[in-house]
Amino acid sequence: MDLVIRNVKLIDGTGASAISEVSVEVTGSAISWIGSESSRPKRTVHQEDINGQGLTLIPGMIDCHEHFTGDGGTDVMDRLLNDTAEEFTLKAVGNCRRSLMSGVTTARDVGARFGVNINIAKQTAAGAVFGPRIIASGEWFQYPGTWPAGLTRTTETPEELLLGIQDMIQRGAGLIKVGATGFRPDGAQFPSMSREALDAAVRAAHDAGLKIAAHCHGFEGTLLAVEAGIDSIEHGTYVDEPTVRLMAEKGTYMVPTMSTWDARERLAIQAGLSKDQMADVYDRKENSIASFKRALQAGVIIATGTDAGGSPARHGFVAREIELMVDNGMTPQAALEASTRVASELLGVQEQVGTIEVGKQADMVLIDGDPHSDIGALKNIWAVFQGGRRVR
């Protein structure tokens, strides 16, 4: 069905200022016309007609870091370690729907046991599963000590790592994910993958035309990942000045996932934990915020990701992640672009989505309010469109 949204405030995601009283036409799945209502060409075909007066139209949002097979919450790690492939698949179907309903029309799934996310991505693309367009990594890779055995695919040599990456590529992965840092039992950080292994992983991914992301929670391992040419640093909880300067120089993206500590803090307070019991939560929070601010000051490219399902953060709350980015120094316009155009560039899909422009896919969200003046308005979703089809 064709569509017109009349007299709406438009934030197109390109970096331009918002424009009031604009009409946007969709033909099939693509945006076909943008302009003033008075100059809109007359159509003889039937269109869904929406009066956008008082609403704001933004591009469909993009979450660069989700794990659809996890529900989040306090027991997320137990479930990620113990659920079966069938349970993961069922949970992913529900979480895909939650994400789409929150205005996320495109997403990256950066790791699932058994590579379940690759099949989920194929099913959402086919329309069999209701959810965002998904770029999925399949399993993600670690050397021993990054995460509990079984959560990821553990390899011990660059040769094993390359064989695993080729397996994911053959199965249809749309990106590669590695773990570059780990924590020892005493909480000390350490680089969990050698520079040789990181170099090999980057070459393998790039030779296949794919981006590569690295889980990073430590100083030294993050620097090694950036030096190796990793495309995006995921989390970046402990990032120092030399590293953010190098990231800015090389064009390395940062996906800060501040929802991880935000959700953990909220759940801990609800559980009545003492300040001593919450010391680790506060440490992660403080270092995450400090690293985010360093990256922002240095000019690092920042894209939005929640880590929903891979942490206590739940799916469907991308607006909270964007709000945290604004709370910690980003302008509302920059934070919204980090969730649309900038995120599309990280995913390599900027020719199709990420902005509202003629010829692009009609992935759009109608907001009751103006997120440029109040970022909290992103929680007031009036409608969601994906490929021209109204899905909410």
Q: What pLDDT does 146 receive?
A: 75
Architecture of the domain made up of 2-59+355-390: Roll (2.30)
**E strand intervals along the chain:** 2-10, 19-27, 30-35, 47-51, 56-59, 61-66, 104-109, 133-136, 141-142, 153-154, 175-179, 181-183, 189-191, 211-216, 232-235, 253-255, 301-302, 364-367, 381-386, 389-390
Compute the distance between CA of residue 312 and CA of residue 12 in angstroms, rounded to an integer. 32
Q: What is the pTM of this model?
A: 0.96
Q: Do 2-59+355-390 and 61-347 show the same overall fold?
A: no
Which pLDDT tens digit goes with each residue over 294-345? 999 999 999 999 999 999 999 999 999 999 999 999 999 999 999 999 999 9
Compute the distance between CA of residue 340 and CA of residue 10 in angstroms, rounded to an integer. 14
Give domain limits for the chain. 2-59+355-390, 61-347
Cα–Cα nearest to 286, from 347, 349, 328: 328
Query: Which of 20-24, 45-49, 261-265, 325-329 is the least confident region?
Result: 45-49
Which pLDDT tens digit goes with each residue over 31-67? 999 999 888 888 767 888 999 999 999 999 999 999 9
Looking at CATH, the fold of the domain delimited by 61-347 is given as: TIM Barrel (3.20.20)
